[in-house]
């Protein structure tokens, strides 16, 4: 038997009562109260630390219990069982396991879950969204980071013509637009907007030199466009930003993320390999060797060495591996 | 005889009953178990459990807060909170994408959100108060929808066109709307702070911010940014060291502001609000020390960062203890005589939408 406060739910009057169990019944007895009810009609609050627990009766009245140990003793003589979440919260091993599991799950979600979901999302979103995003991004970049191209008109037209004459591995022709720009900040670079528009910068064309290698780079970028990697990356960075917003609680920078994410796109090795494979297939489809892309990468690597600017390759990791793979494809292409 | 009884009754009326100090009895280690299990289950269920987690969190804090020997309680139902969260998430996505993709739809979505918001906020007050109880008697919020539109839309508009000169006035109106329409059972609360008192605190905030900005200006951030923009004009790549320096000063200043000016403002405005709120004839005294709040906020921030978040439960408990224990109720009569009102049912949509859009209405 132990004391608790009884409240009738209609006023704030405190009534001190004694609680005890007889058979299957709870007995509540105090100054002007004395009744018993079957324990199956009593709802017991789960344990939350050392907070008082309430025994709630069906008519909205309840007993507020502060003597938690006495309540535990009383409960042990009834059919009451603690909920599983309650037991987890108090179990030291489970709490330690939870810490490890939380960290592991977050890491796994970031490494595998997020790219998978973003790729699915990028292929499901209506193309209109990619187009609007690209128009917005280009508007933001033009005149700030990007300036008009200095490449002679004839060379640009010739390159465009060759680009649009390419046959895609699925038999079609590129529906991507090819835009020429220059940028002191971005240097020798080319990137793909979410709708597949390819932007090639002057320095890249200068570094590469000949047209077949330029086409090889375009083929690689068409791989990114085909895989919708730009949109995927954008979704990924939005999701990460949203996560930090929830975790840290700051909403401000969520909106400014889009243009930055596209320019600084750091594709994973996996996405680069996908784009390389697509580019290689595309080149072979057009009777060109995949080795051309390797050559282009090599030229770019040379032009980058000694320059502090992060260029095309800084967002394209482990260039040596990629060149090796492409050259192997080139050898098998020649032998056919 | 008459004289005696009169002086007796006067002394009875004026002799104040003992103030009832609020106490917080939770502790960090205990809350850690609840917090980490909440986190794990939320991740495993892809966020669905977060509604149940929220109820557990609020119940932990409410039930560990006690006044006059009885603790508070939270009654919100997780499934209602979940529905609220889904709607809030949908609104948040609509908002983000409409801002990012400027299309004809953008203006429609923004207007729709602005029109729905006052109604949602009013519902959020209702949900939160209705699900709060002490000694089995629930709180209620009875503010009308019409007044919500006036408080949020009209005053919000006035604040914008007067370049925030009206912000303290709007804050006072918001608090008056909230507290004048709050009930504990059948006892109505009232709010007595005047707009002038809000202006004093806001003016203090403004002066501090200006001084702070001047100090930052002298700290070399201007030079760092000038160097950066000059490098950009010359077409060169910005010096990474200069960029790092500028960002470090900027973020340092923001963090410093968050853990110094922020808490001082919070303490002063919270004291003002609660010292001028009454529950029926019972007065409230709130005596939050700005100095202690700075210390708690700053040390919490450092420890949460150093422990990569694991300190969060202790930080929350420390802050709750400090906040609760700076509040006292000055009873004007017997605390046993509050009478409960008729039961109602109220959804959580407003509360969740309000949290998702990061409106700080918890003062």
What is the C-alpha separation between A28 and A41, in angstroms, rounded? Answer: 13
- Cα-to-chain-centroid distance, residue B258: 15
Which residues lie below 8 Å from residue A320, measured CB to CB, with a gap of 6+? Answer: none
What is the pLDDT averaged over residues A198-220?
Answer: 89
- The complex scores an ipTM of 0.81
Interface of B with A in 61-80 (CB under 8 A): 63-64, 66, 69-71, 73
Residues in chain A closer than 8 A to B282 (CB atoms): none
DSSP-assigned beta bridge partners for residue B72: B134
Shortest CB distance from A14 goes to which of B64, B101, B336?
B336
Q: Which of A193-202, A230-239, B183-192 has the lowest mean pLDDT?
A: A230-239
| Torsions phi, psi for A171 (to 5 deg) | 100, -20
Alpha helices, DSSP H, located in chain A: 68-76, 84-90, 92-108, 114-124, 127-141, 153-165, 202-208, 211-226, 229-248, 257-263, 269-285, 291-304, 319-335
Cβ-contact B41, B47 below 8 angstroms: no
What region, left, alpha or beta, does residue B143 occupy, with left being phi > 0 and alpha being psi -120 to 50 degrees? Answer: beta
Residue B17 in this model has a pLDDT that exceeds 70: yes
Contact between B26 and A51 using a beta-carbon 8 Å cutoff = yes
Residue B216 in this model has a pLDDT that exceeds 80: no
What is the pLDDT averaged over residues B326-345?
Answer: 85
Nearest C-alpha neighbor of B363 from the set B225, B178, B159: B178
Q: Chain A: nearest CA to B357, how far in angstroms?
A: 9
Residue B234 in this model has a pLDDT that exceeds 50: yes
Of all residues in chain B, the percent with pLDDT exceeding 70 is 81
CB contact B100 to A (< 8 Å): yes
What is the C-alpha separation between A280 and A275, in angstroms, rounded? Answer: 8
Question: Residues B277-316, buried b or exposed e (16+ Cβ, 10 A)?
Answer: bbbbebbbebebebeebbebbbebeeebeeeeebbbbbbb
Residue with tokens 């040596």: A320
Task: Write the pLDDT tens digit of every residue in B149-181.
Answer: 999 888 888 888 998 899 999 999 999 999 999
Residues in chain B closer than 8 A to A309 (CB atoms): 237
Distance between the two ends of chain A, CA-based, in angstroms? Answer: 92
Residue B217 in this model has a pLDDT that exceeds 90: no
Cβ-contact A216, A293 below 8 angstroms: yes
Task: Write the pLDDT tens digit of every residue in A248-301.
Answer: 543 334 334 444 444 445 677 788 888 999 999 999 989 899 999 998 888 888
Cβ-contact A190, A204 below 8 angstroms: yes
Mean pLDDT of chain A: 84
Nearest C-alpha neighbor of B299 from the set B109, B28, B20, B116: B28
In order of A291, B165, B166, B359, the CA distances from B161 in angstroms are: 63, 9, 9, 20
> Measured at the alpha carbon of residue A206, what is the angle toward residues A205 and A209, in degrees to the nearest 5?
80
What band does A164 get if pLDDT is binned at 50, 70 and 90? very high
Q: Chain A: nearest CA to B326, how far in angstroms?
A: 20
Give SS3 for B188. strand
Contact between B64 and A64 using a beta-carbon 8 Å cutoff = no
Contact between A95 and B33 using a beta-carbon 8 Å cutoff = yes
Residue A174 in this model has a pLDDT that exceeds 50: yes
Which string of DSSP letters, residue by residue, matches A74-141? HHHTSS----HHHHHHH-HHHHHHHHHHHHHHHHHIIIIIHHHHHHHHHHHS-HHHHHHHHHHHHHHH
Contact between B96 and A255 using a beta-carbon 8 Å cutoff = yes
Residues in chain B closer than 8 A to A308 (CB atoms): 237
What is the C-alpha separation between B215 and B209, in angstroms, rounded? Answer: 10
- pLDDT value of position A261: 47
- pLDDT value of position A253: 40
- pLDDT value of position A314: 52
Task: Write the pLDDT tens digit of every residue in B257-272.
Answer: 878 888 999 999 999 9
What is the Cα Rg of chain A in Å?
Answer: 33
Residues in chain A closer than 8 A to B53 (CB atoms): none
Mutation site, A6, A8, A9, A12, interface B, largest B CB count within 10 A:
A12
Cβ-contact B80, B348 below 8 angstroms: yes
**Is B278 or B105 the better-scoring residue by pLDDT?**
B278
Shortest CB distance from B36 goes to which of A14, A102, A105?
A102
Q: Chain A: nearest CA to B196, how far in angstroms?
A: 31
What is the C-alpha separation between A32 and A14, in angstroms, rounded? Answer: 12
Residue with tokens 């069906």: A58
Which string of DSSP letters, residue by residue, matches B207-243? HHHHHHHHHHIIIIIHHHHHHHHHHHHTTPPPPHHHH
Q: In the numeric block, which tokens belong to residue B9?
A: 């009754």
What pTM value is reported for the model?
0.77
Task: Write the pLDDT tens digit of every residue in A100-157.
Answer: 999 999 889 888 888 899 899 888 888 888 888 888 888 888 877 888 999 899 999 9
Q: At what angle do helices B50-63 and B78-100 cross, to 10 degrees?
A: 120
Of all residues in chain A, the percent with pLDDT exceeding 90 is 35
Strand (E) or helix (H) holding A2: strand A2-7
What is the pLDDT averaged over residues B72-82?
Answer: 88
The DSSP letter of residue A29 is E
Contact between A102 and B43 using a beta-carbon 8 Å cutoff = yes
């Amino acid at each position: 038997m132990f004391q608790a406060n009884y409240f009738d739910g209609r006023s704030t009057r405190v009534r001190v009562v004694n609680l005890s169990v007889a058979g299957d019944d709870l007995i509540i007895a105090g100054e002007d109260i004395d009744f018993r009810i079957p324990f199956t009609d009593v709802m017991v609050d789960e344990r939350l630390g050392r907070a008082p627990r309430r025994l709630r009766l069906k008519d909205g009245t309840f007993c507020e219990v502060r003597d938690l140990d006495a309540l535990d003793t009383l409960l042990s003589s009834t059919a009451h069982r603690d909920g599983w979440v309650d037991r987890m919260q108090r179990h030291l091993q489970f709490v330690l396991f939870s810490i490890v599991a939380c960290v592991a799950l977050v890491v796994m979600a970031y490494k595998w879950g997020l790219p998978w979901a973003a790729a699915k999302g990028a292929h499901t979103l209506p193309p209109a969204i990619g187009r609007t995003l690209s128009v917005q991004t280009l508007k933001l970049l033009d005149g700030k980071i990007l300036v008009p191209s200095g490449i002679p008109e004839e060379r640009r037209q010739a390159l465009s013509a060759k680009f649009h004459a390419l046959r895609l591995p699925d038999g079609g022709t590129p529906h991507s637009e090819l835009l020429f720009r220059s940028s002191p900040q971005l240097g020798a670079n080319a990137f793909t907007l979410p709708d597949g528009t390819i932007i090639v910068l002057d320095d890249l064309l200068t570094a590469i030199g000949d047209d077949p290698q330029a086409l090889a780079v375009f083929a690689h970028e068409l791989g990114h466009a085909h895989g919708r990697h730009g949109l995927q990356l954008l979704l990924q960075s939005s999701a990460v930003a949203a996560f930090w917003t929830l975790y840290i609680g700051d909403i401000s920078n969520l909106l400014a993320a889009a243009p930055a994410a596209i320019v600084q796109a750091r594709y994973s090795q996996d996405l680069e390999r996908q784009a390389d494979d697509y580019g290689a297939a595309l080149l072979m489809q057009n009777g060109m060797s995949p080795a051309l892309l390797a050559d282009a990468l090599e030229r770019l690597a040379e032009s980058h060495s000694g320059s502090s600017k992060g260029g095309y390759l800084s967002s394209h990791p482990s260039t040596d591996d990629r060149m090796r793979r492409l050259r192997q494809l080139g050898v098998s292409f020649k032998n056919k | 005889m008459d004289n005696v009884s009169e002086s007796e009754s006067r002394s009875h009326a004026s002799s104040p009953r003992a103030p009832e100090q609020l106490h917080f009895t939770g502790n960090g280690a205990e809350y850690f178990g609840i917090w980490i299990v909440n986190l794990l289950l939320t991740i495993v269920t892809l966020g669905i459990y977060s509604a149940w987690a929220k109820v557990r969190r609020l119940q932990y804090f409410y039930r560990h807060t006690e006044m006059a020997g009885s603790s508070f309680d939270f009654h919100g139902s997780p499934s209602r909170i979940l529905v609220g969260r889904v709607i809030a998430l949908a609104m948040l996505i609509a908002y983000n994408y409409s801002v990012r993709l400027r299309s004809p739809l953008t203006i429609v979505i923004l207007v729709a959100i602005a029109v729905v918001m006052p109604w949602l906020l009013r519902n959020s007050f209702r949900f939160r108060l209705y699900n709060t109880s002490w000694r089995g008697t629930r709180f209620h919020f009875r503010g009308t929808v019409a007044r919500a539109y006036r408080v949020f839309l009209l005053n919000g508009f006035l604040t914008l066109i007067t370049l925030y000169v009206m912000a303290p006035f709007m804050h006072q109106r918001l608090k008056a709307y909230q507290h004048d329409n709050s009930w504990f059972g059948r006892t109505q609360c009232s709010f007595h702070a005047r707009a002038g008192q809000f202006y004093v605190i806001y003016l203090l905030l403004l002066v501090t911010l200006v001084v702070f900005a001047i100090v930052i200006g002298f700290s070399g951030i201007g030079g760092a940014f000038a160097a950066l923009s000059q490098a950009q004009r010359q077409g060169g790549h910005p010096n990474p060291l200069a960029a790092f320096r500028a960002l470090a000063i900027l973020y340092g200043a923001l963090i410093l502001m968050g853990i110094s000016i922020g808490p001082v403002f919070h303490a002063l405005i919270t004291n003002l609000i609660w010292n001028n709120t009454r529950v029926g004839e019972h007065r409230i005294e709130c005596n939050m020390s700005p100095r202690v709040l700075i210390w708690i906020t700053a040390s919490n921030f450092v420890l949460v960062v150093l422990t990569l978040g694991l300190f969060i439960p202790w930080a929350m408990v420390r802050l709750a203890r400090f906040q609760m224990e700076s509040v006292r109720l000055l009873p004007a009569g017997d605390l046993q005589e509050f009478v409960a009102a008729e039961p109602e049912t109220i959804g959580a949509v407003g509360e969740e939408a309000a949290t998702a859009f990061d409106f700080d209405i918890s003062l």
